[in-house]
């Protein structure tokens, strides 16, 4: 909803979450000491990407303007074809490739890009920002429990 809110109000989409929200979400997503564990971070990315895609499919299925449920199979088969091509941190090119290979008419492509896939891109970007924030917080010892000392007394 924050992504859509920022789109509608013309705000900067690269900074959807404030520093405080990134800190809170990072603390809830990445357990202390796991921020630099590559195996954990990679599996977290896989899980988050899957949830973003599932949300994309659910929201697209509800959208009667673009065919809704008939498009669901197309989206899932395209994702299955591209699953091995997805790399961490390369969300923009992944979603562009995903869209270009769907094989749908131009009107549907434009509606998908403007609404559903555009939001999915931003969600992936926000997830990456939160995980990067967790890494920085671990390195510089600014995790949420460390914020206690920065609060006014």
The DSSP result for the chain, as a single string, is -HHHHHHHHT--GGG-S-HHHHHHHHHHHS-TT-TT-HHHHHHHHHHHHHHHHHHHHHHHHH-GGGTTHHHHHHHHHHHHHHGGG--TT-HHHHHHHHHHTS---HHHHHHIIIIIHHHHHHHHHHHHHHHHHHHHHHHTT--GGGGGGGS--
Structure tokens at 138: 């671990």
CA 34/CA 36 separation, integer angstroms: 6
Cβ(91)–Cβ(128) under 8 Å? yes
Contact predicate 56/75, CB 8 Å:
yes
Query: 135 is written with which tokens?
Result: 């890494």
Residue matched to tokens 């809110």? 5
In tens digits, the chain (153 residues) has pLDDT values of 677 776 777 777 778 888 888 998 999 999 989 999 999 999 999 999 999 999 999 999 988 888 767 888 899 999 998 887 776 557 788 898 899 889 888 998 999 998 899 899 989 999 999 999 999 999 998 876 655 555 555
Q: How many residues does the chain have?
A: 153
Which pLDDT score is estimated for 14?
78
Q: What is the pTM of this model?
A: 0.83
pLDDT score, position 10:
76
């Amino acid at each position: 909803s924050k992504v859509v809110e920022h789109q509608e109000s013309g705000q900067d989409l690269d900074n959807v979450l404030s520093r405080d929200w990134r800190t809170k979400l990072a603390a809830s997503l990445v357990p202390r000491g796991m921020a630099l564990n590559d195996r954990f971070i990679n599996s977290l990315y896989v899980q988050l990407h899957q949830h973003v895609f599932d949300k994309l499919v659910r929201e697209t299925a509800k959208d009667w303007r673009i065919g809704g449920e008939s498009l669901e199979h197309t989206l899932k088969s395209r994702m299955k074809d591209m699953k091995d091509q997805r790399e961490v941190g390369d969300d923009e090119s992944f979603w562009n490739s995903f869209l270009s290979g769907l094989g749908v008419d131009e009107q549907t492509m434009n509606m998908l890009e403007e609404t559903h896939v555009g939001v999915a891109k931003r969600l992936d970007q926000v997830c990456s920002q939160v995980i990067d924030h967790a890494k920085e917080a671990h390195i510089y010892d600014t995790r949420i429990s460390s914020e206690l000392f920065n609060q006014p007394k």
